[in-house]
Amino acid sequence: MSQTLPLSVVVSIHDSAWTLNEVLAAIRASELRRDSYEIIVVDDASTDRSLAIAARYADTVVKLKGRRLGPAYARNRGVELARGQIIAFVDDDVVVRPDTLSRMLATLVERADVDAVSASHADSSGAPNFVSQYWNLLLRFGEQRHPGSGAQFAPGCGAVRREAFLSAGMYDEWRFATACLENVELGERLLSKGHEVLLSSEMKVTHLKQWDFGSVCQEIWFRCRLLARSLGYTRMRTAAPSEVVFTLSRTLTPAVALLGILMLAAAFVPSPHAGAKGGAAVLALLLTNFPMHRFYAGARGLGFAILSAPLHLFVQIVAAAALCTGWILREVLGDVSPDAATQAYSEVGLEIWPPVPRRL
């Protein structure tokens, strides 16, 4: 379609029926003229009622059938149809505020030096359970400590100039078949091409996804492993310091150093207790994580901070193990790549719909 619009909102969905109504209704309730933007929903092989719900709100619905190909792939298909000069990506569990999209649009219109802008997490998660609140605050802590420019093109809700997005090569659909770090990687590529990426601490969105202990550990495991294996820890730490992987791992090095000192000191104590050794290790981690626990206490009270400390400790251990696994996998197997069939189809240049994931 040739007619252009100021904004296209691309929402990639997969079995999102439980949140989609609220997500799309919030976009429609934005403080923008209805004829100034379009909503493109890309359905990534859902098996629930997501498609029917999408039809209630969207201007265009793209149906990707067969196996799930991931949000990076789905968003790219949405952008290919988009008429907007600015593309906003909203996750299928993110509720925008009435002014979020209009403020993003205004930022990109008024500031020629900024090419991409994204919103931060709201102070509380849409899901009321303890683990969801913990996870939301953990992400919020990183965003608050490192706002402004960086490669943090937030996964929940971000807007980018179409030209900048295309010139950076779009999302990496080849390596990111699951929702994991594809936004950070895109942000890093935008930065390396000279585009300015802004993480706003004033624009906030609410995440509805309900997390539990297992899903948080799984998320951390995938993020840390992929980051170490595929993106490069040091390079990404400089580019995207607010990423949760670094929030978790940044305190590990001083904790280990502190632990070493304590252990050395304990060596001079005749036959120290096993409890004392364990206590020293926990104390070292608590001390190095003090700014975060203080942030938790300020946001939710001392009780929440105390309760979250063991969870945080465990999550950090998972992060450390996943980072080590990622480094080993990188040395042994190299970078991640899609399955053999996808690689073969790509090699022969097979033209089908939906298209074979593209290499960058």
Query: Which residues are near other proteins by CB under 8 A?
Result: 1-3, 51-65, 81, 351-354
Beta-strand pair 84-90/5-13: parallel
Quote the least distance from Cβ 324 to other proteins, whole Å: 42
57 or 246: CB nearest other proteins: 57
Q: How far is the CB of 133 from other proteins (least distance, A)?
A: 33
Q: Is the Cβ of residue 61 or residue 318 nearer to other proteins in the bound state? A: 61
Q: Which residues are within 8 A (CB) of 110 and not within 5 positions of it... i.e. 6 or more apart?
A: none
What's the CA gap between 252 and 257, in Å, rounded?
9
Q: How far apart are CA 151 and CA 187, in angstroms?
A: 4
| Closest to other proteins by CB, 201 or 346 | 346
The CA distance from 320 to 99, in Å, is: 39
Peptide bond preceding 354 in cis form (omega within 30 of 0): yes
Cβ 104 to other proteins, closest distance in Å?
A: 24
Q: What are the C-alpha distances in Å from 157 to residues 200, 270, 338?
A: 11, 57, 26
Q: In the complex with other proteins, which residue's Cβ is closer, 75 or 175?
A: 75
C-beta separation of 160 from 115 below 8 A: yes
d(CA 44, CA 173): 13
Measured from the CB atom, the residue of 60 and 144 that comes closer to other proteins is: 60
DSSP letter, residue 122: P
Residue 318 has φ and ψ, to the nearest 5°, of -60, -45
H or E segment to which residue 299 belongs: helix 290-300
Angle of CA points 5, 115, 137, to nearest 5°: 105
Q: Which lies closer to other proteins via its Cβ, residue 169 or residue 355?
A: 355
Q: Closer CB to other proteins, residue 167 or residue 342?
A: 342
